[in-house]
A and B are shown apart, each in its own frame.
Chain A
């Protein structure tokens, strides 16, 4: 494997609370190359915070510490805010969960998209418009002219997420962080959005960090999977091997899902074991 795009070593994210600091991400290490890596875990496991820490989006009083936090050859910890800002959007894109909250509600879609070319590429307004329309077409929006002039509330959730993808991919980043990009969408629309992300990631040879709570989706879509629990990585494996997970937490999650193809009367549930919090990452089956 060539040198990783993102290298994280000993990342910890903490928030001060009454009587001490609560670490929501605890000493995790991983690296991601030009591949699709899924990060799965339940709510509160720290997966979103991991993504945000990479982009430098943890606001004070949150504290981010790491032995190493690297994007390409840039040391993110010691980078100035100016350098970090030049990375965001430009080289690292992020797609958030709900397009309704990520798009500016009082600005036409087209203007929000065109702004990217004006800001990142110093394009003229006319050129930006043409580029924006091209991008809408690229994310398979059938009627780009209409969507260009629409406000976010006038388009559907699936279309909104396509617009978000168009926005993120417009500056041609090397790395994309997708945080639950399809959770707000219907099943059939989910598949369309996923296939679109997949196609664009392949085409441009990007790295993808795909944050999700849905094990089925991650298994179907990613190359590798990182499983998080209580702020730590408990298991890393190939996506195709997720069904044979070794850690009892991952196994518990897999067993707890109802299945169309395997009907049962009661679903197995599990007790959370204290040891899961103490001993992270014993299982790495990627090799």
Chain B
């Protein structure tokens, strides 16, 4: 059913309002099949709102979102939700505390009336590196990293082509973050997925993404490749500042420590 376009998703002049407040203003970008597209920005810049608009959780006030040649707008057929799934930031609040893992994973399959729910669930648990012994546990019996693996497994139940990742590792320790990022990379390769990754952590973004949009105050101020990001090739001063501060942090640990704190803001 997909027209063989290179782009899996196109966002054209998207505007989202919350009451009077324009959370996203005229944002345009496209995501190519098989790539990871990153969105960085500070809190309140509108990056999560874009994901909400794509997944149908926020109303689109202006512009269009097209996926596989079809426009996604207010009223969507059930099947359109099958193609794009969302993974949230906080693994502690995104799983129902009184539902077993089995129930959390089979629910989407049941809603969409898919067959062989059994084998899907056990296959997915293996795929995210947990194994079937986790199947009848409750979320409170799992660590944060394990929960995030479940949330990722749940997003895969319907075999979507695009997964929206909203700060998927911000609540996790660095060692667990590394495991989850590796898992996401592996799943993308084996299942031919495309991702949109939203994060405030520029190192994570640069590790995962092919192309990146920088947002500030609801607007996309820069769109660059990961190489351009590393080389600070931006058109806006805002993006350059944002990325430079991350690089300076890293240099502190990798040796050439400079008095970053005092020289810029002293």
Cβ–Cβ contact B249 & A220, under 8 A: yes
> How many pairs, one residue from A and one from B, have CB atoms within 8 Å of each other in the complex?
118
Q: Is B175 an interface residue (CB 8 A)?
A: yes
Q: Is A56 an interface residue (CB 8 A)?
A: no
Cβ of A72 within 8 Å of any chain B Cβ, yes or no, is no
Interface residue? B33 (CB, 8 A): no
Q: Is A260 a contact of B200 with CB atoms below 8 Å?
A: no
CA distance A260 to B200 in the complex (A): 14
With A187-B242, A188-B42 known as contacts, the answer to whether A219 contacts B206 (CB < 8 A) is no
Q: Which B residues are CB-close (under 8 A) to A76? A: none
Known contacts A191-B265, A215-B253, A221-B261; is-contact A260 B243 (Cβ 8 Å): yes
Q: Chain A contacts of B181 at CB under 8 A?
A: 258, 267
Q: Does A83 contact B (CB under 8 A)?
A: no
A261 in contact with B251 given A187-B245, A195-B262, A221-B261 (CB within 8 Å): yes
- The reply to whether the CB of B6 lies closer than 8 angstroms to some CB of chain A is no
Residue A16 is within 8 A (CB to CB) of chain B in the complex? no
Is the Cβ of A263 less than 8 Å from the Cβ of B249? no
Known contacts A243-B253, A256-B177, A258-B207; A267/B245 CB under 8 A: no
Chain A neighbourhood of B261, CB < 8 A: 191, 194-195, 198, 220-221
The reply to whether the CB of A62 lies closer than 8 angstroms to some CB of chain B is no
Considering the chains assembled together, what is the distance between the CA atoms of A243 and B254 in angstroms?
6
Could you list 6 examples of A-B contacts with CB < 8 Å?
A: A43-B144, A199-B262, A258-B207, A261-B247, A266-B182, A269-B175
Main secondary structure of the interface of A (DSSP, over half): helix
Spell out B's residues near A (CB within 8 Å). 42-43, 144, 173-175, 177-179, 181-182, 185, 200, 202-204, 206-208, 226, 229-230, 241-243, 245-255, 257, 260-262, 264-266
Q: How far is the CA of A205 from the CA of B252 in the complex (A)?
A: 23
Q: Closest chain A residue to B261 by CB distance? A: A195
Q: Which residues from chain A sit less than 8 Å from chain B, CB to CB?
A: 42-43, 157, 186-189, 191-192, 194-195, 198-199, 213, 215-217, 219-221, 239-240, 242-243, 252-254, 256-270
Q: Once the chains are docked, how many angstroms separate the CA of A195 from the CA of B262?
A: 6
Q: Is the CB of B266 within 8 A of A267?
A: no
B173 touching A260, Cβ below 8 Å: no
Alpha-carbon gap, A263 to B261, bound state (A):
25
Q: A220-B260, A256-B177 are in contact. List 5 more A-B contacts (CB 8 A).
A: A242-B253, A243-B254, A258-B206, A263-B226, A267-B182
Q: Is the CB of A261 within 8 A of B242?
A: no
The one of A157, A191, A242 in contact with B264, judged by C-beta atoms closer than 8 angstroms, is A191
Contact indicator B200/A215 (Cβ below 8 Å): no
B142 to chain A, nearest CB (A): 14
* B246 x A219 contact (CB < 8 A): no
Asked if residues A216 and B245 are in contact (CB atoms below 8 Å), the reply is no
In the assembly, what is the distance between CA of A153 and CA of B262, in Å? 30
Contacts A187-B242, A221-B261, A256-B178 given: A261-B42 contact, CB under 8 Å? no
Question: Across the interface, do B42 and A216 meet the contact criterion of CB distance under 8 Å?
Answer: no
The winner among B43, B173, B253, B254 for most chain A CB atoms within 10 A is B253
